[in-house]
Amino acid sequence: MLDESDYLVDKKMIELVRDLHEMARATILLVGEEQFLAKLLRSSERFHNRVLVTVAAQPASLDDVTALARFYCPEIPIADDLLEHFIEKCRGCARFICVNIDHAREAGRTDGAKKLDLDWWGKRRVYNGDQVRRATQNA
């Protein structure tokens, strides 16, 4: 399994992966950004012709995020309402949800919280990759 396979295409290293596939005859799972397949076709038609299946990533579900919370924050339970808040604000992006679970874990440990829920979270900002907008002053 090769994550961020776009990098291999961008750096003209994808043919190395094709060589490995030829030698090992093993299944190789490539994970890339939305434009990965188009980049691959432009870079190497021979490699592109070997792709058997393409699957688009799906937004994280509550079940997915619950499993991530147990993994990244095993010491403090996180309530479903907070996890659903993270899913909504992060538009299902698992990477951003994990960042927020980690932020919640750290804040929960600092606060001595026994359970993390939406009431406890309050008005804290949810990181979702959007830029923070600077407040404007009325002159």
Write the pLDDT tens digit of every residue in 87-122.
999 999 999 999 999 999 999 999 999 999 999 999
Q: Is 126 within the bounds of a domain? A: no
Average pLDDT over residues 48-59: 89
Task: Supply the range of the domain harboring residue 26.
Answer: 5-48
Taking residue 20's Cβ as centre, other Cβ atoms within 10 Å add up to: 13
Domain membership of residue 98 (yes or no) is yes
Residue 138 has pLDDT above 80, yes or no: no
Residue 133 maps to a domain: no
Report yes or no: 9 and 39 within 8 Å, Cβ to Cβ: yes
Q: Is the pLDDT of residue 139 over 90?
A: no
Rounded to the nearest integer, the mean pLDDT of the chain is 91
Residue 51 has pLDDT above 70, yes or no: yes
Domain count along the chain: 2
* pTM score: 0.74
